[in-house]
């Protein structure tokens, strides 16, 4: 996507648009690099899921991955390799609603204010 942004001939309009185009292309290249860096981690998780479910199918091992969109894609690819694509709807029922995930991850913080009255 970053290459496509760089190929547009905005330099003919103004040099300022060219600078903005360069910044946008840089941001797109960074997001692409982050995706490529996460690829090894996804392969490791995929192999773990395959090894856990190859002999005996255990839907509980997919629960963590169902919570995010990229994890659901990983679940689908593992299920298709295990020839259990029909189990996806059952596994999808383990997905928690957004409000429950937010409530679970928010930790209450107690704020204490100390006033030092010795300062003049």
Please report the pLDDT score of residue 100 as a whole number: 83
- Please determine, for residue 1, whether its predicted confidence score (pLDDT) is greater than 60: no
- Closest to 49 (Cα-Cα) out of 61, 60, 67: 61
Long-range pairs, 78-86, Cβ under 8 A, ≥24: 78/46, 78/49, 78/50, 78/53, 81/50, 82/50, 82/53, 82/54, 82/57, 84/53, 84/57
Q: What is the band of 2 on the pLDDT scale with cuts at 50, 70, 90?
A: low
Q: What is the band of 106 on the pLDDT scale with cuts at 50, 70, 90?
A: confident
CB 24 within 8 A of CB 1: no
Tens digits of residue pLDDT in 10-57: 667 777 777 887 888 888 888 888 877 877 888 888 888 888 888 888
Please report the pLDDT score of residue 55 as a whole number: 87
Higher pLDDT, 62 or 118: 62
- Closest to 78 (Cα-Cα) out of 105, 95, 93, 57: 57
């Amino acid at each position: 996507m970053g290459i496509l942004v760089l190929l547009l001939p905005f330099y003919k309009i103004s040099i300022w648009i060219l600078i903005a185009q360069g910044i946008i292309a840089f941001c797109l290249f960074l997001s692409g690099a982050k995706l490529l860096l996460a690829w090894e981690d996804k392969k490791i998780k995929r192999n773990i899921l395959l090894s856990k479910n190859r002999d005996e199918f255990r839907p509980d091992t997919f629960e963590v991955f169902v919570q995010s969109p990229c994890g659901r894609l990983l679940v689908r690819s593992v299920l298709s390799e295990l020839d259990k694509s029909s189990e996806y709807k059952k596994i999808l029922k383990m997905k928690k609603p957004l409000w429950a995930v937010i409530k679970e991850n928010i930790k209450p913080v107690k704020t204490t204010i100390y006033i030092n009255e010795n300062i003049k």
